[in-house]
Amino acid sequence: MAGGSHAQGIGGTFAVLLGLLLAWEAAVWFFAPAPILLPAPSAILAELWSSPRYFLRHAGFTLWTTLAGFGLSVVLGVALAVATVASRWADRVITTILVVMNSLPKVALAPLFVIWMGTGAEPKIAIAVMLAIFSIVADVALGLRSVDPDALALARVHRASGWRILWKVRFPNALPALFVGMKVAISFALVGAIVGEFVGGSAGLGHVILIAQGQFDTVRVFAALFVLGVIGTLLFYMVEAAERLALPWHVSQRSQHGASPR
């Protein structure tokens, strides 16, 4: 029953997207704007079909830098969140540094990363980490702190060590918050990778968009944006699928599967 409703939801989503594309195609056919302003979806798909290896190669580079930045942001973000919970001094220092970093425009910082790290994948990964890590730290720290006081008191009565309390009590409680942060961070990591590709490098979908924009090739720009949209959507739903597998017991997953309270 749950699988059927899930399939219906996916089918409904694709139906809406298909309807929007058909409406877009009809609007371009009816109003006939210049292709440089707004190409038709059929022209965008024809561009993708004509150069599949080109787009796959650049999409692979963007995907690699995105996943690398996302993975590093999760590891570092969880470690920093644990530090903020363990020490008030660390909480003030780490939170202040992250707020300052999050307030700085990444487009302005990207050239510095290129100067420091070159034009390879490293500056793209670094920018992806900068964009993604804040949501991981904030959500995981909230989850680590939002533990039932009775559970903490019970663990202390049984003389559990601080690390055991962290691993057995706090961290399981923070898992739902971690996945919330990961779903936000995966999109930010993709944006960070694209920002890095805009500034320097010779690969990636951001590079494709930049070159096509310089040549006034709007069709290729839209084709690259379409591929980016597909990648971002797939990454988001991959994290959501991992959440369903890791947290089948959580109330949010039971409600999604149609469980009714008793």
User: Would you say residue 130 has pLDDT above 50?
Assistant: yes
% of the chain residues with pLDDT over 70: 86
The pLDDT tens digits for 139-184 are 999 888 887 777 767 767 667 666 777 777 778 888 889 999 999 9
**Whether the Cβ atoms of residue 203 and residue 197 lie closer than 8 Å to each other:** yes
pLDDT at 254 (0 to 100): 57
User: Would you say residue 262 has pLDDT above 50?
Assistant: no
What mean pLDDT is predicted for residues 16-32? 88
Of residues 3 and 72, more confidently modeled: 72
Report the alpha-carbon distance of residue 149 to residue 234 in Å, rounded.
Answer: 38
- Taken in order 114, 115, 116, 120, is the CA torsion positive or negative? positive
User: Would you say residue 104 has pLDDT above 50?
Assistant: yes
Report the alpha-carbon distance of residue 44 to residue 38 in Å, rounded.
Answer: 10
pLDDT at 247 (0 to 100): 77
Q: For the whole model, what pTM was predicted?
A: 0.85
Which of 5-19, 28-42, 167-181 bottoms out in mean pLDDT, i.e. has the lowest? 5-19
User: Would you say residue 30 has pLDDT above 50?
Assistant: yes
Domain ranges for the chain, please list them: 53-251
CATH homologous superfamily of 53-251 equals MetI-like (1.10.3720.10)
- In the block, tokens 């599949």 appear at 52
Rg (CA), the chain: 22
Report the alpha-carbon distance of residue 184 to residue 192 in Å, rounded.
Answer: 13
**Whether the Cβ atoms of residue 90 and residue 81 lie closer than 8 Å to each other:** no
User: Would you say residue 235 has pLDDT above 90?
Assistant: yes
The pLDDT tens digits for 212-224 are 998 899 999 999 9
DSSP secondary structure string for all residues of 142-181: HHHH---HHHHHHHHHTT--HHHHIIIIIHHHHHHHHHHH
